Chain A
Amino acid sequence: MDAWLDALIPLWLSVKIATCATALILVPGALTGLALARCEFRGKTLVETVAELPLVLPPTAVGFAILLVFGRDGPLGRETLGFDLGLLFTWRGAVLAAAVMAFPLVARTARVAFENVDPRLEKMAGSLGMSRGEVLFRITLPLAGRGLFAATLLGFSRALGEFGATALVAGSIPGRTQTLALAIFADIQVGRNTRALVLLAIAVTVAFVAIATVGRVSRGAHHHGRTRPGR
């Protein structure tokens, strides 16, 4: 029983950090997805590449890069700014690391969600006299809604499982920055296998629910957004 109660703290931290990270990247991720799906602009390939970089880079490399930027002498460090942002080795630092790692997944899924909305529906809305804002909020966003929900859930799941970057940026301080992923690693290191097993069971349950939900929502999205293609 103790092992279960003990496991609730890393679970709570994980959920808190993943929720904050998802909230942080949802709007920028959706806007990036919208721009990549709908706009042609100079440097689009560069934006695409930068947005997807954390997906390809080892998480520890991303963590190290964050440390360089926010470290004492970094461009956003205490020495440069004249004050401390208070990110490193705090739960807020873990939010930042998780957000950076989850961003590509949110932007990419949002892009697919917007691409699945027939742009001719938006043109039709324009011809009916709707302003650009009305087209976005009455047509595009509702039709991309399921896909955007899937993007949110995938981003949340990625943030929940974040390990490498978080370990470097926030450390693994029990009760403060030690998330589910970090706690499993720490328990295995010191041979606390029972607690590690409990944490594993929790992680599997959370991941299972998230993936199943995304699957259901995505299947619905394909039936909703696109009408018959134009001829």
Chain B
Amino acid sequence: MTFFDIDLAHEANGFRLDYRLATDSRSVGVFGPSGAGKTTLLEIVAGWRRPTRGTIRIGERTLFDSATGVDVRPAERRIGYVPQDILLFPHWSVLENVTASPGSGEFAERVLDMLELAPLRDRSVLDLSGGERHRVALARALCSEPQLLLLDEPLSSLDAPLKRRILGDLVRVQEEFDLPMLVISHDPTVVQVLCHHAQYLEAGEVQDDGPPATIVAGVADADFENVVRGTVSSVSEHGARVMLEGDVSLGIPRSGLQPGDAAILGIRADEPMLALQQPIALSARNVLGATVEEVRSSGDARVVRVRLQDLDADWWVNVTDDAVEALTLERGRDVFVVLKSRSIHVLGVTSA
């Protein structure tokens, strides 16, 4: 069944958005540069703007249909929206914000606990840090018991540790509430972690549609983060082992993981090394066979796309010009990807 079925056009102030989405995936990422029309799209879905024409169907509900005159009021759309500018009610405390939605009292306690906001409940939202404000906005959206969560650049303007924290929260929310999401971001990691389907939106038009890793690959550079999913198979005092698809496993730091946990792992493009022969007697715990698919320039550096043998996935690895020359890295070259355990970051965990 098609879960998201959106086909709309919107024209305002000389900008035209032509948007189409038809997928059975329940978590969709819209990726693209600033000014592509991403926020406009979310505000249309939320009912804050009326499209010139089109239809918006989410699950079994029709929220908008210009042909039949259906236009469900924002208050009745059951949509939780976390905008980029957060929009907390500045005259209220954390608890008042979180329970802003009528009838959200009981549910609020669970959400406050989950997002670790309980100790802040009586604090004015004007006294919160950036990360706390994000969590309050997320809690407020969840407490309205939405049928769809809209996230607009959920990690923008946060520093790296906070980004990881909020991203982890979002993964838990997704798992715990089984909540469909429409996420817009220019951050490839966010789209890969939260979404199972993605689109590339530019200048008001969908340019590409497909799996998140494929859609974000177009912008892969030295800062790119490869994202993989797996299940924790064992945990010892030395570290944890995560099984990926195709019987491939990675050794990672313990990071509080438990056997059976589902983990989403991030590997930054400048962390792995490439070798032409299988290294032996090496301190790095992970060595994976791969084949070079593409070599691309990214500023002063080069990024190499390698296809991991036994794993149906491509990783991007950042190398120098020298390395490309010395190893004659070109399409079809077999290599080994060498990765230290500590180079693998846990981006999200959901308990077994």
- Taking beta carbons and an 8 Å cutoff, which residues of A are in contact with B? 118, 120-121, 123-131, 134, 139, 142-143, 224-225, 227-231
Contacts and interface: CB of A to CB of B under 8 A. Distances in A.
B90 interface: yes
Contact of B75 (A130, A224, A227): A130
Given A120-B83, A126-B75, A142 B101 contact: no
Contact of A231 (B46, B47, B84): B84
Contacts of A224: 90-91
Contact of B87 (A121, A142, A143, A225): A121
B144 interface: yes
B140 A230 contact: no
A228 B83 CA distance: 11
Given A128-B100, A227-B87, A228-B85, 20 more contacts: A120-B85, A120-B87, A121-B87, A124-B81, A125-B89, A126-B47, A127-B75, A127-B79, A127-B81, A128-B75, A128-B101, A139-B89, A143-B90, A143-B91, A224-B91, A227-B90, A228-B86, A229-B85, A230-B39, A231-B84
Given A227-B90, A231-B39, A128 B140 contact: yes
Contacts of B73: 126
Interface in B71-95: 73-77, 79-81, 83-91
A142 B89 CA distance: 10
A224 B144 CA distance: 25
A127 B74 contact: yes
Given A134-B102, A143-B91, A231-B39, A127 B85 contact: no
B177 interface: no
A127 to B, nearest CB: 5
Contacts, number: 70
B107 interface: no
Q: Which residue of A118, A121, A123 has the most chain B CB atoms within 10 A of its CB atom?
A: A123
A118 B87 contact: yes
Interface of B: 39, 46-48, 73-77, 79-81, 83-91, 100-103, 140, 144
A143 B91 CA distance: 7
B85 A227 contact: yes
Contact of B74 (A126, A143, A228): A126
Contacts of B75: 126-131
Nearest to B153: A231
B144 A128 contact: yes
A20 B85 CA distance: 43
B88 A227 contact: yes
Contacts of B83: 120, 124, 230
B64 to A, nearest CB: 14
Q: Which 6 A-B pairs have the closest CB atoms?
A: A128-B101, A126-B74, A124-B87, A127-B74, A228-B85, A123-B48
Contacts of B77: 127
Contacts of B86: 227-228
A129 B102 contact: yes
Contacts of A121: 87, 89
A117 to B, nearest CB: 10
Nearest to B91: A142
18 contacts: A120-B87, A121-B89, A123-B46, A123-B74, A124-B81, A127-B81, A128-B75, A128-B101, A129-B76, A129-B102, A130-B100, A130-B102, A131-B75, A225-B90, A227-B87, A227-B88, A231-B39, A231-B84
A228 B90 CA distance: 11
A129 B76 CA distance: 7
Contacts of A131: 75
Contact of A129 (B84, B89, B144): B144
Contact of A230 (B84, B100, B101, B144): B84
A130 B84 CA distance: 21
A187 B101 CA distance: 61
A118 B83 CA distance: 14
